Every structure is written in C-alpha cells, then in structure tokens.
Amino acid sequence: MERPLSRFEGVNCQRPLTSSTSSSPAPATIRRPPSQGNRDIGANMRWSKTFIHTLRQDPADAEVVSHKLMTRAGLISKVAAGIYNSLPLGWRSIDKMSDIIREEMETAGAAELVMPAVQPAEFWEESGRWAQYGPELLRIKDRHDREFCFGPTHEEIITDIVRRSIKSYKQLPVALYQIQTKFRDEIRPRFGLMRGREFLMKDAYSFHADVEDLDTTYRAMERAYCRIFERCGLAYTPVEADTGNIGGSESHEFMVLADTGEDAIMSCPSCGYGANVEKAQTGAIAAAPAWPLAENDAPSEVNTPEMRSIEEVSKFLGVDPAHLIKTMIFESDEEFVAVLIRGDLEINEVKLKNFLDCTHLQLASEAKIEQITGGPQGFSGPVGLEGIRIIADPTVMDLKQAATGANTLDTHLVGVVPGRDFQPADIVDLRTAKAGDPCPNCSEAMIEKRGIEVGHIFKLGTKYSTAMKCNFLDAEGKENPMIMGCYGLGVGRTVAAAIEQNHDDKGIIWPLPLAPYEVVLVMLNSDKPDVVEAAEGLYTQLKDAGFDVLFDDRPERPGVKFNDMDLIGFPVRIVAGARGLAEGNIELSLRSGGEKTLVPITDMVETVRKTLDEIRAQLPQ
RNA sequence: CGGGGCGUAGCUCAGUCUGGUAGAGCGCACGGUUCGGGACCGUGAGGCCGGAGGUUCAAGUCCUCUCGCCCCGACCA
C-alpha cells in the first residue's frame, strides 16, 4: 500500500466522543444462548479436559510483558518469528474481542464478510501496488507458476467485489468488514503479538457517492472504535495521524497508552489535541536568544577545526544551538535537497517526505554531500549553495543572525542573515514536535506519551476506485469513481495491549470483557469426597446459570493453583476447599484486588451474579 | 541489510576460554510422606549439544560454511 502504513489501512479519529455509556443493562452472564451454539457447554469449561499449560519461567525469547505473560499463561505459543499459535485460552480472549468488534461494526452499519488470504497478482497490478509494494508483500506462486500474494490488506479485493455489484448512487453507501488473518513480511517482527507478521485484523471498507457521506461513515467508525476500546476497559487516545502518500484526507490512529508502545504521541493536557509525532504540529516556537556576537554586513568565516556537531560548534563559537542553521542533505526518489532547521530542533522526516511527495527518502551519503556542497559532512550550509533545492523550516527564517557551515573543511560562517545571504526555494514546517512544545491550538505545553497503535482509520478517497474503475452513475447519469474509506483494527494486538496495560508482577489482570473466562472455580482438597461433591455441585449450578466459568478440577496443590489463577488472571475467583466448606462457605475474590469474602455455598450463584454485575456497571455497555 | 547476542533434555540454563564417557533446577512417570500460596524423599524415562563439512587418536568444546531465534539500528515510511 502505499503508505505502508502503520499497520492498518485506515484512518483515525478526532476527539473521541466522550464516554458513551448508555445504560441498556447487559444481559450479563450469558454470552450466547445455548441454543445458538454456545461453545461453553462441554469439556472446555473443565481444566482437566481443555488445554491449558502454564509456564513457570519467562520464555527466553520474550522481551515485553504482554509477550511474556501470554506465553507463560498458555495463551499463545511461537511457531516462527512473528508467527504464533493462538491456544484455546488465548483464542477465547481473541474471540471475545472479535465479538465486541462485530457488535460495534454492525451498529456502525457495516456487514461482515470474509475475503481470501491468498490473492491473485492481477488485482494488485490493476491498482499499481504490485510494483509499489516492497518486500513486505509476501509473493507466492501456484503450481502453474501464476503469481499470488498473501494479503497484507484487502483494498483490491473489496474494490473488485463492490464494482461488480454496485452501479448506482442509489445503492450507496456500502460498508463491509471482515476479521481475517493478514500477513505482512515485516523486516523485524517483535514483541509477540505486538508486531507479528501473521496477525488477525479487522478491516472495514466503505464506499460513497460523495465526501459528505464518507464523512458520516468515518464519524460512525470513529465512534465505533471509541466504544470498542472503552468496552474493553482500555486507556486509549485517538490521535491525528499521517496519511502517508494517500495525501489530503483525514486519518486517525487509536493508541493504547503504554510505555512499551512503539509510537510517540504528542498531546495537549489543556485542549485535548493529540497527534502522532509523525504528524504533530506545534504552536510558535520561542525565538532564539539575542545574538551574542557582533553583527556583520556579510557572513564571515571562522576556523572551526574538527567541529562537526551542533553542540561542538555552538560551544566553540559562544552562541546558542538555536543560532545555528542545521543543514542536512537528503536524497529522495529523484533529487537531492538541502533541508535547513534551527540547530536546537529536529527534522521530521515524515513531514519532509509528505512535502516532497516521494516514496523514498534517506540522508545522503558522505560522498554525495561532498560532491554537492563542496565540503565534508558536518560543514554544510546554505550560503552560496547552488545546484540543489533548499528547503527551510520557518524557524530558520526567523533568525536575525545565524551561524552555519561554510561548505569548507573546518570552517563555519557567522553573521549569516537568512533572506539576505541565502534564499530557500520553500519554507515549510518540518519540525519534529517534542515534549514542552506549545500546542498548535492553545499554546499550552504539550506532553509526550508512548502508545500502541491498535486502530487506524482513513479517508482513502478515490485512489483504488479510480485505478480499478469502481464507478457509479450519479443522479445526472454521469459516471464517477466511488469515494472510499478504510478502517483497520488489530485484534490480537489489542488483546496484547490490554495486557500491557493490565498486569502486576504475578500475571495478567484481565478486563472482564476480554478474560478467557470471567469466573474460575478452584477446587482444593480434591482428595476429600465431600469437597469434590460440593465443588462439582457448585460448578453445575454456575454452568447451568450460564456463567462463563472455568472449573479447575485438577488434583494440584493449592499453591500451584493459586499461582496459575494469578498468572492467567481470571477476574473472579471462587475457591472451594475443605476449610471453608466445613462451615458451608466458599471463598470469593477478585483478581483486581480487594478482600476475600466468605459466602455460604447456597448463596454463591447469586453472589457471583451480583459481583459480575458490579464489575460490568463500571464498563460502558 | 549492518551491528551485537544466543541455539545443549519439554522449559530455564551450566558446561565451550583450557578437546578426553552429557549436566543442574523445574516439568514428566512410578513409590512414599505431604496438602490453603509454585512441598519433600527415593527411583526412573528423556539429548544426533540447530545442521553440514573440516582439524584431531579423540569435538558440545577448535576452524569454515550454513540455518534458526532474540536485541539495536537502517529500511519499510
């Protein structure tokens, strides 16, 4: 795709809607009516019959906590780099995640379908991406030597589906989604389910007759995403995101806040502005301090032996780093450009890339720098620089007096006046925002957080519909390309993110909606027939009452069981042991903390119901 | 793709520098004692030391080449 986007083809949303807590009480305990294929009726509710295998030690190849815990708790296991099994316990969580997504997608007006994982090359050639997409696209051949790829995303296929059936504006809009396995041959997969190569993704696509209608669906998706993450009990934030080569349209990412996140987010504590650092704007940056040296009519050379870094040069010259003009030579698809930024600031390569509208961008090699500027790396400057396009950040042009490289070994210029001594071809915002920079809306100091990108929504426009002739007739009988949106959400990644956000040193602390089982019934003293009888009886009651319960019927020692329960993190734990049962009591506790309470076994079903209802009351319904 | 690290029992790891009969803990099986926060004793099963070449009387250990996994970076963008 073009923008190898982050992970999802999609966009992001603006401010989240606030809490969308309506109060239709959830039917709680019953996930699916038994008559409709409730899976919770058989062996998988009894530990001894299902397949749960915990590990005592962290796996050697796991680095982040979600990867460690998911492996130790027996949720996933690794098959190859970036490729994992979802084991029964993990699959239950993923499946619950999927169900929440389905409900919100349906509410947003999208219909579910499933497209193939393996896609013929011809569609990709039609959209132009067969050539554009790099090695991240896993290309395969069948026995007849025909070319296919394992789908990293499905714009081509969905566009083909829609163009076959939709011909009129009267049939629009259309919104479709799937929950399906993707494959992206990432250069470096890492962190378990956080950046896998094969991963489960919900991808939705919408088709519209006009941009207003796209906007309506976009907002509905934005709302659906907010509700999905809220329902999972996740601390998240939607941020403005880079649209990559798509250009022009809106895009938002949904970030689950976590220190281990791969993305940096700039946000304003005052007005709520939030953006991926790749995209983040800033308000006016404070001007450089007064120029401490004499002002010249023309730049004058200063010998700066071996002084290449901003720090060295500014210290040597006795000026502030903000007085330097950092000059960096970049190589894009077709040209070299000299990019100027104030010495105390950093260039945002994504912004530069967008401005240049190129697909490749990298720093020029030392040899190229010397060839273009006439001087070695570390001594480049815009004065007298010819034969290359010069692009400057506005902060550079605000400098009254500046210092810069002289394009000569061991030499810098002082007393350089932007506009007088050089004139850039373009002046454009290229700054990387950093913590403390003023918010572009309200000028309050912004803060930086780390986030895991769990969703990305995009206004695609007509890129695919034009390339693939996905057209419709409008009211005037004129043919137009449909306007598209796409909306991605990482299913497994969201589950992993939930663990990053909810754990302690003993294990996972599942948010109720994602827990593989909401309740675990732990039987201790399984050598005592009366305990077994009581526990089995309670289990039957709980099961019959429709609870999502796992019965730990293993004849293990108590310590082993308690540690496993803490590791896996079932929200509600019920313990049936000889000690309590002597008084007719069962013990109930929450993984999230708080006191253990003793409950008469006869009241247990009702107590569990109440407990779950209380937990649910804290979540958006 | 560059840099670094690691591949030895199901898991976590010693052993490799300095070549000489394959180890520990956990897990697993059996017996016994235990039994409300990962018990203890005893017995036992389980390895082509990632793979292929080479050096050597002798290779887990030394050399070469490969494959895999992890981390950083580049790249993807």
Average of pLDDT values for A328-348? Answer: 85
Instruction: List the CATH number of the domain containing A415.
Output: 3.90.960.10
Tell me the pLDDT tens digit for each residue of A578-611: 999 999 999 999 999 989 999 999 999 999 999 9
Q: With CA atoms as reference, report the closest residue to A420 among A395, A402, A394, A393.
A: A402
Read off the pLDDT band of A247 (50, 70, 90).
very low
Over pLDDT 70: what percentage of chain A? 92
d(CA A285, CA A271): 18
Report the SS3 class of residue A548: coil
Amino acid sitting at position A58: D
Read off the pLDDT band of A573 (50, 70, 90).
very high
Report yes or no: A382 and A325 within 8 Å, Cβ to Cβ. Answer: yes
Q: With CA atoms as reference, report the closest residue to A110 among A208, A13, A177, A210.
A: A177
pLDDT score of A42 more than 60: no
Specify which residue's alpha carbon is closest to the C1' of nucleotide B34.
A557
Tell which of A477, A492, A507 closes a domain: A492
Over pLDDT 90: what percentage of chain A? 59
d(CA A293, CA A157): 64
- Say yes or no: A210 and A138 in one domain: yes
Task: Identify the pLDDT of residue A243.
Answer: 63
Average of pLDDT values for A342-367? Answer: 80
Torsion-angle region of A37 (φ positive above 0: left; ψ -120 to 50: alpha; else: beta) = left
Q: Which of the nucleotides lies closest to A562 (Cα–C1')?
A: B37
Report yes or no: A356 and A247 within 8 Å, Cβ to Cβ. Answer: no
B chain positions with any atom within 7 Å of a protein CB? 1, 6, 11-13, 25-27, 34-39, 68-77
Task: Identify the pLDDT of residue A13.
Answer: 39
Task: Identify the pLDDT of residue A43.
Answer: 55
pLDDT score of A33 more than 60: no
- Say yes or no: A264 and A314 in one domain: no
Residues in a beta bridge with A250:
none
- Say yes or no: A130 and A251 in one domain: yes
pLDDT score of A37 more than 60: no
Distance A53 CA to B22 C1' (A): 29
Tell me the pLDDT tens digit for each residue of A512-541: 999 999 999 999 999 999 999 999 999 999
A291 domain residue, yes or no: no
A38 domain residue, yes or no: no
A589 domain residue, yes or no: yes
- Say yes or no: A571 and A469 in one domain: no
Distance A138 CA to B65 C1' (A): 28
Per the structure, the residues numbered 285 to 304 in protein chain A that have their CB within 7 angstroms of any atom of strand B are none
Residues near A105 by Cβ (< 8 Å), separated by ≥ 6?
Answer: A112, A177, A202, A204, A224
Q: Which of the nucleotides lies closest to A71 (Cα–C1')?
A: B11
Tell me the pLDDT tens digit for each residue of A17-29: 333 444 444 434 4
A41 domain residue, yes or no: no
Q: Is the peptide bond before A305 cis (omega within 30 degrees of 0)?
A: no
Q: State the SS3 of A375-420.
A: CCCCCCCCCCCCCCEEEECHHHHCCCCEEEEEEECCEEEEEECECC
Distance A313 CA to B48 C1' (A): 62
- Say yes or no: A472 and A593 in one domain: no
Q: Is the CB of A139 under 7 A from strand B?
A: no
Q: Is the CB of A277 under 7 A from strand B?
A: no
A74 domain residue, yes or no: no
Task: Identify the pLDDT of residue A506.
Answer: 95
Task: Identify the pLDDT of residue A365.
Answer: 74
Report yes or no: A446 and A248 within 8 Å, Cβ to Cβ. Answer: no
Per the structure, the residues numbered 324 to 353 in protein chain A that have their CB within 7 angstroms of any atom of strand B are 349-350, 353
Q: Is the CB of A579 under 7 A from strand B?
A: yes
- Say yes or no: A563 and A455 in one domain: no
Distance A548 CA to B35 C1' (A): 29
A444 domain residue, yes or no: no
Distance A80 CA to B61 C1' (A): 29
pLDDT score of A12 more than 50: no
Distance A80 CA to B50 C1' (A): 14
Q: Is the CB of A196 under 7 A from strand B?
A: no
Tell me the pLDDT tens digit for each residue of A141-173: 999 999 999 999 999 999 999 999 999 999 999
A543 domain residue, yes or no: yes
Instruction: List the CATH number of the domain containing A613.
Output: 3.40.50.800
Give the domain extent around A543.
517-617
Specify which residue's alpha carbon is closest to the C1' of nucleotide B35.
A557
- Say yes or no: A258 and A132 in one domain: yes
Q: Is the CB of A575 under 7 A from strand B?
A: yes
pLDDT score of A432 more than 80: yes
Task: Identify the pLDDT of residue A14.
Answer: 36
Give every strand in the sheet of A411-416, ordered side by side: A300-303, A411-416, A402-408
Q: Is the CB of A506 under 7 A from strand B?
A: yes
- Say yes or no: A312 and A194 in one domain: no
Task: Identify the pLDDT of residue A246.
Answer: 47
Mean of all residue pLDDT scores within chain A: 88
- Say yes or no: A345 and A477 in one domain: no
- Say yes or no: A454 and A415 in one domain: no
Q: With CA atoms as reference, report the closest residue to A459 among A111, A2, A3, A10.
A: A10
Report yes or no: A208 and A464 within 8 Å, Cβ to Cβ. Answer: no
Task: Identify the pLDDT of residue A514.
Answer: 97
Higher pLDDT, A21 or A208: A208
Amino acid sitting at position A222: E
A289 domain residue, yes or no: no
- Say yes or no: A227 and A157 in one domain: yes
Counted domains in chain A: 3
Average of pLDDT values for A547-560? Answer: 96
Task: Identify the pLDDT of residue A20.
Answer: 40
Residues near A198 by Cβ (< 8 Å), separated by ≥ 6?
Answer: A82, A83, A84, A181, A182, A183
- Say yes or no: A117 and A189 in one domain: yes
Task: Identify the pLDDT of residue A1.
Answer: 38
Report the SS3 class of residue A337: strand
Instruction: List the CATH number of the domain containing A250.
Output: 3.30.930.10
Task: Identify the pLDDT of residue A555.
Answer: 94
